[in-house]
Chain A
Amino acid sequence: MKEFDVIVVGGGITGAATARDCAMRGLSTLLIERSDICDGASGRNHGLLHSGARYAVTDKEGAEECIRENRILRRIASNCVEPTGGLFITLPGDSLEYQENFVRCCRDAGIDAVPISPKEALRLEPAVNPELIGAVKVPDASVDPFRLTDANIIDAMQHGATILKFHTVTGFVRNNGRVCGVRVTKPGVIRSQEIRARMVVLAAGIWTAGLIREAGINIGMLPSKGALVIFGHRVAGMVINRCRKPSNADILVPGDVVSVLGTTSDKVPFEGIDDMRATPEEVDLLLREGVSLVPALSHTRIIRAYAGVRPLVMADSDGDGRSVSRGIVVLDHEQRDGVPGLITITGGKLTTCRLMAEMVTDAVCAKLGVKAVCETALRPLPGSGKAHKDDEEVPYFKRAAIGRHGTEVSRMDFDLGHEIICECEQVTRAEIKYAVKTLGVRNISDLRRHTRIGMGTCQGSFCIKKVAAVLAEELGEPLREKEFIDEYLQERWKGITPVFWGDSLREAEYMQRTHKDEI
């Protein structure tokens, strides 16, 4: 492989946005991801486009970043963002003085926070706890992290970037102490391969901690687990937050046809980060708190529970790890550790992914002497914008795809592919073909992330065999059909076991009886 200007390690939202920015500035760019795009923390979060209000009281700078980026993403990624609006509600026992201060802090940070009466709040969002004593309207929104990451990847590719999935970075190529590339392996091949670049950017979330040790560097990082629960309905139309010091289970976010309640925050050991599971105890806690936010959650069907890992970065001066930062951290390892050629980008939030990319790409360009300026805030991402004319009649089989992929539907061939494969999410064969061809989908979990196949009401119970057959056919690998089914069922099982009671238990029995020859 040729020498690249920059290698970005990590195919989550940070890596994808960084690859896009680098490519747009004319750098020859390679992104390496050990698994599929969005398989780490980027695919296991709330899907919340922060207005910044949550941070206004404790972290003004973070709040300002959020509201700026919130406005930018609404503009450049319209198909990924649903402008739901958000509420911060004050419940009996919470302090109305806190709410007053909260509104003041929001306004200081440039966030349009409007206090409204409890009655008005119930009119806007009938799902909120009717006992509320105060409410504030803020510009929170819902964002689809899978789509946003895909859009960045597609744009990076359209600007010449190369994406290498299912390749693991195992170490660095060094020359006189300088990092001048990475060693990668791929499944089934023992020998590692060297790929050279003038700069290497680590954007691997919590997995950065392990990678950086290969360069003889230490970054104080802590994995912080966040568990979330998905409900099978759009219980609320707006993002609902609790107006108090940020705590467990105080945000409910509507997204597509579901609602996501979260989150917890617990430091966990590094050993478990590759297989994060929500535990029954976490689910109990989430429900206990969530019901006070939105009482209807007590009798809403739960689809699954899952967990992701935030990377908490300790301040360099802080030995005992008590002061952690959730802000954006760019580490120039030449300056910090005397290792030229290597930069780490970490911290930050889904909402500020574009800004993180801009900051680290600025740093890369400074090292490479490239003068190009950042244009990522000005140019829309692929899919953003109007997918059809106002007066155009859109056929039923295209509507869901437009909702998901926006203008990208022009690249789907519906003439032969309008048959619907996943009924809940209305995924057609054309969309599966597109996912295989354009997004490089290789297995059923990839397909789920990139199309929402099997994420709907039936959770694959009725369609998974059909989906597996069609995917195997489109990949030209008919023998993998059974593997796809098993993979899907195991993943579904992982999500249903933490919520194993009531209707979920009924579903579990149904799954066992329909998909197992013997039980």
Chain B
Amino acid sequence: MRFDAIVIGGGQAGCEATARLLDASLKVCLISAGLTMEDENTDPWRENRAMAQRGATVLRGDRAVSAVLEAGKVLSVRTVNLDDEPLEAALFILATGKYFSRGLLSDMEHIYEPVFGADVDYIPGRSHWYDQDFSAPQPFLSFGVKTDERGRVLIGGKSIGNLYATGDILARDAAEADWAQIMNDYAGK
């Protein structure tokens, strides 16, 4: 199945990105696993429904698991529920959040991004991930995906031409692309 753009992650950042892409009259797919930390101001399901009503294809309760890359670009992603149907697009937005929403996974020593294997800015070895004082700033909350100066996601130190990250999944110091830039890149394909 082919779209203009695919947004991975249906939380606040993913919905905002979807709305922008719909504003530009793109054919958008939103993959929403539904693992958002809600608060009184946001209701991700309501937002997801609103996106569907505006014409986006919303895969609710689904999760991207792998991607196919070629020549520095993402060609397609696969999800749990549509594992025999690659979802193709010209533009990909990664908005899967941090740990709670499983945008970043971890083992005893490492933190990684599971869909693309994007570069994660963190310190290996979990004793560096926390401060023993609960109320102090916590290093693990500043970890996240690395991007280049234009906000494109880095994999193995190389910029991926059509993959941008937005929201919590970004490392604290990582640059976030502005929308004019993204649409500009998209128009140039």
Q: Please say whether chains A and B are actual partners in one complex.
A: yes
Enumerate chain A interface residues (CB-CB to B < 8 A).
277, 279-280, 284, 486, 489-490, 492-494, 497, 500-502, 505-506, 508-514, 516, 519
CA distance A312 to B127 in the complex (A): 29
**In the complex, are the beta carbons of B140 and A490 less than 8 A apart?**
no
CA distance A514 to B100 in the complex (A): 12
Contact with A516, one of B99, B106, B107, B135 (Cβ below 8 angstroms): B135
Chain A residues, CB < 8 A from B141: 509, 512, 519
Q: Quick one: closest B residue to A496, CB to CB?
A: B130
Contact with A513, one of B37, B126, B140 (Cβ below 8 angstroms): B37
Chain B residues, CB < 8 A from A489: 134
Chain A residues, CB < 8 A from B98: 509
A497-B37 in contact given A502-B107, A508-B99, A509-B98 (Cβ < 8 Å): no
CA distance A489 to B130 in the complex (A): 14
Closest beta carbon of chain B to A277's beta carbon, Å: 8
Residue contacts A-B, CB under 8 angstroms, 7 given: A280-B126, A490-B134, A493-B132, A494-B132, A502-B105, A506-B102, A519-B137
**In the complex, are the beta carbons of B99 and A280 less than 8 A apart?**
no
A519-B138 in contact given A280-B127, A284-B108 (Cβ < 8 Å): yes
Mask, B53-86, CB within 8 Å of A = 1, is 0000000000000000000000000000000000
A510-B108 in contact given A493-B132, A500-B126, A500-B129 (Cβ < 8 Å): no
Chain B residues, CB < 8 A from A511: 134
Chain B residues, CB < 8 A from A513: 37, 100
**In the complex, are the beta carbons of A502 and B106 less than 8 A apart?**
yes
- Nearest 6 interchain pairs by C-beta: A493-B134, A509-B99, A501-B106, A506-B99, A509-B100, A506-B100
**In the complex, are the beta carbons of A510 and B37 less than 8 A apart?**
yes
**In the complex, are the beta carbons of B130 and A500 less than 8 A apart?**
yes
Q: Quick one: closest B residue to A283, CB to CB?
A: B108
Closest beta carbon of chain B to A318's beta carbon, Å: 36
CA distance A510 to B134 in the complex (A): 12
**In the complex, are the beta carbons of A501 and B132 less than 8 A apart?**
no
CA distance A389 to B126 in the complex (A): 52
Is B133 an interface residue when CB atoms closer than 8 A count as contact? yes
Interface residues of B, count at CB 8 A: 22
A490-B133 in contact given A502-B106, A508-B140, A519-B141 (Cβ < 8 Å): yes
Q: Quick one: closest B residue to A488, CB to CB?
A: B134
Closest beta carbon of chain B to A436's beta carbon, Å: 25
Closest beta carbon of chain B to A105's beta carbon, Å: 38
Chain B residues, CB < 8 A from A510: 37, 100
Closest beta carbon of chain A to B84's beta carbon, Å: 27
- Known contacts A280-B108, A502-B106, A513-B100; 17 additional CB pairs below 8 A are A280-B126, A490-B135, A492-B134, A494-B132, A501-B107, A505-B106, A505-B129, A505-B140, A506-B100, A506-B102, A508-B99, A508-B138, A509-B98, A509-B100, A514-B37, A519-B138, A519-B141
Q: Quick one: closest B residue to A510, CB to CB?
A: B100
Chain B residues, CB < 8 A from A492: 134
Q: Quick one: closest A residue to B130, CB to CB?
A: A497
Chain B residues, CB < 8 A from A284: 108
CA distance A516 to B133 in the complex (A): 12
Chain B residues, CB < 8 A from A514: 37
**In the complex, are the beta carbons of A512 and B138 less than 8 A apart?**
yes
Closest beta carbon of chain A to B33's beta carbon, Å: 13
Mask, B36-52, CB within 8 Å of A = 1, is 01000000000000000
Q: Quick one: closest A residue to B137, CB to CB?
A: A519
CA distance A279 to B37 in the complex (A): 30
Chain A residues, CB < 8 A from B102: 506
Chain B residues, CB < 8 A from A500: 126, 129-130, 140
Q: Of residues B99, B102, B106, B108, which shows the largest number of chain A Cβ atoms within 10 Å of its Cβ?
A: B99
**In the complex, are the beta carbons of A497 and B132 less than 8 A apart?**
yes
CA distance A160 to B118 in the complex (A): 68
Q: Of residues A502, A509, A513, which shows the largest number of chain B Cβ atoms within 10 Å of its Cβ?
A: A509
Closest beta carbon of chain B to A517's beta carbon, Å: 10
CA distance A357 to B137 in the complex (A): 47
**In the complex, are the beta carbons of A501 and B126 less than 8 A apart?**
yes
**In the complex, are the beta carbons of B135 and A509 less than 8 A apart?**
no
CA distance A489 to B136 in the complex (A): 12
Q: Quick one: closest A residue to B106, CB to CB?
A: A501
Interface residues of B in 2-44 (CB under 8 A from A): 37
Closest beta carbon of chain A to B24's beta carbon, Å: 32
CA distance A412 to B91 in the complex (A): 64
CA distance A451 to B23 in the complex (A): 56
Chain A residues, CB < 8 A from B137: 519
Closest beta carbon of chain A to B167's beta carbon, Å: 14
CA distance A146 to B186 in the complex (A): 64
Q: Quick one: closest B residue to A280, CB to CB?
A: B127
CA distance A508 to B99 in the complex (A): 9
Closest beta carbon of chain B to A391's beta carbon, Å: 46
Mask, B98-115, CB within 8 Å of A = 1, is 111010011111000000
Chain B residues, CB < 8 A from A493: 130, 132-134
Chain B residues, CB < 8 A from A279: 127
Q: Quick one: closest A residue to B126, CB to CB?
A: A500
Closest beta carbon of chain A to B18's beta carbon, Å: 23
Chain B residues, CB < 8 A from A490: 133-135
**In the complex, are the beta carbons of A508 and B107 less than 8 A apart?**
no
Interface residues of B in 112-158 (CB under 8 A from A): 126-127, 129-130, 132-135, 137-138, 140-141
